[in-house]
Amino acid sequence: MSVLIHKSITGSSAVEIARSVERAVREGRVAPGGRLPTVRALARALGVSPTTVAAAYRSLRGRGVLLAAGRRGTRVAGAPPLRTRIGAPLPRGVRDLASGNPDGALLPDLGPALRRIDARHHLYGAPNPIPELLRRIARELAADGIPAGPLVVVSGALDGIERVLEAHLRPGDRIAVEDPGFTSVLDLCAARGLETVPVHLDDEGPLPESLAAALAAGAEAFVLTPRAQNPTGAALSAPRARSLRAVLRAHPRALVIEDDHAGAVAGAPARTLCDAGRERWAVVRSVAKAFGPDLRVAFLRGDAATLARVEGRQQMGLRWVSFLLQRVTLALATDAAARRAVRRAARAYAERREALLRALRARGVEAQGRSGLNVWIPVPEEGAVAQRLLARGFAVAAGERFRIRSAPAIRITTASLDPEAAPRVADAVAEALGAGRADAIA
């Protein structure tokens, strides 16, 4: 048990103890992932009853600050829902292949769209959202086989996912998630106090037998990324989608949430596990990767009850997504030059991803990346490989934060990696893996 953690926790009531833990995490005295004392050990140290400490821990788990990690004890969540210290910037000369951003040079020019939009103020009580924008997105979703249903504008894909989770699940509920999966979805589930049940996947998407096991284990919902899966680049194949729909038919009450975050630049066709007969479902499609992350606009379609709950909750808080952002989105969606830019970006992302995969294969390095902006590379030890690559001038993302039970790996974002640079990155990866094997033999 860490003495530092012990000294960082004070208080004589559950509320005081919980506040001291939160303060220690916020100030960086207890790091994300840090292990806390057992209930009985902390109770003895503070001179309070175990019931008091247990109540403090329970409240923090319900808010996603702490996680119960079985034999690993009670730990601070990997990304607790608190403002904490920001990580150090990358060293000078290091190329960022870790952030997951789209290439800013491939995003459409916002200038013409900003000059075209109606800049009148939108007042309380005015119609919301923009009907023409909804009609256009409805046609796009229908063409991709997404079932008919209500349509809501939300502030990005994660906002849509969180609102659907809020509409149906409560702290302690079980939720099936991809493993490895998107860190923000895993963090969001933790912050809402949900117990994640891992669903393993390959290049064609989640494995049917793994999803069936998760649902049989009591998962009430399933969040998946049908294409451009982050971090692996998996994309649903038609046969895999049919197999998964068969699994879901045996669980008609399970909530299905699809995160189509990459949309038009995913590099794979849209496929859905949802059908018109499903009781609880939602599909969220964002414009962030195609038009730019600063346009906090995404579209949520789902069953009538789910969407009514989402809209009702919006009315009590956000009320509407900025009409200026909606107007810019519509202007881009209807502009020929912007649409050409999106098509160019989709081709470039595919070329860059494939260039790195080819270079890795040529060097005998196993990797995944069927779609999207990332390549996932299994490694024996994430931290060591990431450090070796950093020393070579490349920052990559260690896979730990993406994983629940899946094997170690690193994620390389290829969005801004020109094909000519792929061999240099592949050389560095092969050397880093070779150095690791040599160390293990020695």
The architecture (CATH level 2) of 109-334 comes to 3-Layer(aba) Sandwich (3.40)
Q: What is the 3-state secondary structure (H, E, C) of the chain?
A: CCHHHHHHCCCCCHHHHHHHHHHHHHCCCCCCCCECCCHHHHHHHHCCCHHHHHHHHHHHHHCCCEEECHHHCEEECCCCCCCCCCCCCCCCCCEECCCCCCCHHHCCCHHHHHHHCCCCCCCCCCCCCCHHHHHHHHHHHHHCCCCCCCEEEECCHHHHHHHHHHHHCCCCCEEEEEECCCHHHHHHHHHCCCEEEEEEEECCEECHHHHHHHHHCCCCEEEECCCCCCCCCCCCCHHHHHHHHHHHHCCCCCEEEEEECCHHHCCCCCCCCCCCCCCCEEEEEECHHHHCCCCCCEEEEECHHHHHHHHHHHHCCCCCCCHHHHHHHHHHHCCHHHHHHHHHHHHHHHHHHHHHHHHHHHCCCCCECCCCCEEEEECCCHHHHHHHHHHCCEECEEHHHHCCCCCCEEEEECCCCCHHHHHHHHHHHHHHHHHHHHHHHC
Are 337 and 313 in contact, with CB atoms under 8 Å apart? Answer: no
Digit-coded pLDDT (tens) for 138-179: 999 999 999 999 999 999 999 999 999 999 999 889 999 999
d(Cα 143, Cα 125) in Å, to the nearest integer? Answer: 32
Least confident of 11-25, 153-167, 376-390: 11-25
* Model confidence band, residue 1 (pLDDT cutoffs 50, 70, 90): very low
What is the distance between the alpha carbons of residues 20 and 135, in angstroms, rounded to a whole number?
50
CATH class of the structural domain 95-104+339-441: alpha beta
**Would you give the end-to-end CA distance of the chain in angstroms?**
33
Give residue-wise pLDDT tens across range 405-427: 999 999 999 999 999 999 999 99
Say yes or no to pLDDT of 393 above 80: yes
Strand partners, 176: 197, 222
pLDDT greater at residue 420 or residue 28: 420
Out of 17-26, 300-309, 328-337, 416-425, which region has the weakest mean confidence (pLDDT)?
17-26
pLDDT in tens, 177-197: 999 999 999 989 988 888 999
Query: And the tokens for 70?
Result: 């079985």
* CATH code 3.40.640.10 region(s) in the chain: 109-334
What pLDDT does 4 receive? 44
* CATH architecture under which domain 3-76 falls: Orthogonal Bundle (1.10)
Domain with CATH 1.10.10.10 in the chain: 3-76
All CATH 3.90.1150.10 domain ranges in the chain, comma separated = 95-104+339-441
pLDDT at residue number 145: 94
pLDDT band at 396 (very low <50, low <70, confident <90, very high): very high
pTM, two decimal places: 0.84
What CA–CA distance (Å, rounded) separates 323 from 329?
A: 10
Inter-residue contact 101 to 413 (CB < 8 Å):
yes
